[in-house]
Structure 1
Amino acid sequence: MYDEILLPMDGSSEAEAAVVRALDLARIGDATVHILYVVDTSPEPPGLGSSARDELRNYSERRGRDMTQQVQKRADESGIAAVRTVSEGIPHRVITKYIEANDIDLVMMGTHGEAGRGEFLTGRATERVVALSDVPVMSVRVAPDVTVPTEGYAMYDDVVVATDGSDAAERAAEHGLGIAERYGADVHVVYVIDTTTYGLGDAPRSIVGLLKQGGQNAITDIETTARDRNLPVTTTVLRGVPEDEILSYADGVDADVITLGTRGRSAGPEHLLGSTTARLVGRSDIPVFTTS
């Protein structure tokens, strides 16, 4: 399913959760894990002299070497092929270049990092990678009260496939079904009629009916594919604010991952990352798998 998995590291709990998931996917798919740490060369806090800047970057480089070595050791102990790299630059730029140069077909990364400086620390790097990457990205955010798993067996029991009928959503659904096949998971397909876009409070019943039918058509195609693969599947059409409804639905079925496209039908060309996707990546306490 995935041959080359990129794992950007920053030492956060989110990154640790991504480590477990990346190693497990590599284990069941016989993939290679690329462990990448980026020494962030974004502008340092004002007032630092050149020696202080050098010391800060040297510390970051040493830390990166230690972390990548630790993950590689875990991979080696599990019989998983792994390579590690410590590089300098703007995190999202280094990551996207690495994807292209190494034929990466999945990125697994945390949505927030440790308190401090740098793009990882605000989540901007993850959002930019999600928006710019031509390959799928699984974003992992860990809530303060969630324990990071130590192994990935039976990691995905329920997969939520969110669709809006767009090409990107269909491609994301294919990955969601693939994950379900690998882990023997149940599939839950959801379509949300966006009330913020259509102003349904004043819409005639005929318009609402058309929107419902469009949603039903979108989920039926995915449902048929899931059943053809002998996957347990349920479907639903909801109304409301998409990210709210998807998160509530995922919580209700105790989902382990949400899949969706990076750009929906309402995303204009000026928005690389659809607003629903951006909000889900930032808010979801379970992994969000996106593809363009």
Structure 2
Amino acid sequence: MYEKILFPTDGSVGTAHVALQAIDLARQYGATIHVLHVVDEDFRTRLGEFTGADDELDRRGEQAVERVERMVTAHDVPVETALETGDPATTIVEYAGDIDADVIVLGTHGRSGVERRLIGSVAERVVRQSPCPVLTVRLPGTDVTVETEGQATEIAQATLDDKQIDATATAADRQRNVWVVEAEGGDRSLLVYVDPVTQRASVIDRSD
């Protein structure tokens, strides 16, 4: 059903949560994720008088797509990236047509009322103009996608099951940049490290 999934990103906080929706679709259908960042041409023009502004906008765009690229790669999903300049909504729609995208997964800040009318919404314009279906996901206020001990334990257990390791995840502890989940099975004592952003997990056997 889906072979090409377009994921536009502006580097907003909470992008990881939205990217996971695209990753889930890609894994389900064996699709490739195309990560796109559009540098707003009007914004670039307004900043043109400031030395180094162009380079800074490009650098931020490159960082935005690279963060998502690392996340998608961590889930073993094929990924391609692109950096374009133009009107964001128009460029996203045109790019979707150029690559013959099957679906666009797009984060939205959930603006409403006066704020939406004054600022406008890229997501709304993409939905109206897109040549393919659009899945909109509201951006949360954080890039962390594993927020509770229960979530970390569930991911750890799924990883153990996938690796056919006969062990049960028991307790999780949130450390600075990682969840550490303890697991026991027979005479084996294991630790499962879960990345709180990408949800990528690795298993360490403490019995060795």
TM category (shorter chain) comes to 0.5 to 0.7
Identify if the C-alpha distance between structure 1 residues 88 and 133 changes in structure 2 by more than 3 Å, giving closer, same or farther. Answer: same
**Residue in structure 2 matched with residue 107 of structure 1 by the alignment:** 104
Identify if the C-alpha distance between structure 1 residues 107 and 69 changes in structure 2 by more than 3 Å, giving closer, same or farther. Answer: same
TM-aligned CA deviation for residue 51 of structure 1: 3.8
**Residue in structure 2 matched with residue 31 of structure 1 by the alignment:** 31
Instruction: Select which of 84, 96, 104 maps to 1:87.
Output: 84
1:33-182 alignment runs, 5 A limit: 33-43=33-43, 50-52=48-50, 55-112=52-109, 122=119, 124-142=121-139, 144=141, 149-150=145-146
Return the letter of the residue paired with 1:34. H
TM-aligned CA deviation for residue 45 of structure 1: 8.4
Deviations 1:144-197 (A, max 9, x none): 5x885359xx9xxxxxxxxxxxxxxxxxxxxxxxxxxxxxxxxxxxxxxxxxxx
**For 1:109, what is the secondary structure of its paired residue?**
strand
**Residue in structure 2 matched with residue 10 of structure 1 by the alignment:** 10
Identify if the C-alpha distance between structure 1 residues 147 and 15 changes in structure 2 by more than 3 Å, giving closer, same or farther. Answer: closer
Contact kept in structure 1, 2:13 and 2:140, CA below 8 Å: no
Deviations 1:97-141 (A, max 9, x none): 10111010110111139xxxxx9xx45211100000121111111
Identify if the C-alpha distance between structure 1 residues 142 and 73 changes in structure 2 by more than 3 Å, giving closer, same or farther. Answer: closer
Pairs aligned (count)? 142
Higher helix fraction: Structure 1 or Structure 2?
Answer: 1
Return the letter of the residue paired with 2:15. A
Q: TM-score, normalised by structure 2?
A: 0.59
- What are structure 1's unaligned runs of at least 5 residues? 114-118, 155-292
Contact kept in structure 1, 2:107 and 2:137, CA below 8 Å: yes
Contact kept in structure 2, 1:111 and 1:123, CA below 8 Å: no
RMSD: 3.0
Contact kept in structure 1, 2:17 and 2:140, CA below 8 Å: no
1:194-205 alignment runs, 5 A limit: none
Contact kept in structure 1, 2:39 and 2:86, CA below 8 Å: yes
**For 2:42, what is the secondary structure of its paired residue?**
coil
Distance 2:106 2:26 in 1: 14
Distance 1:142 1:125 in 2: 13
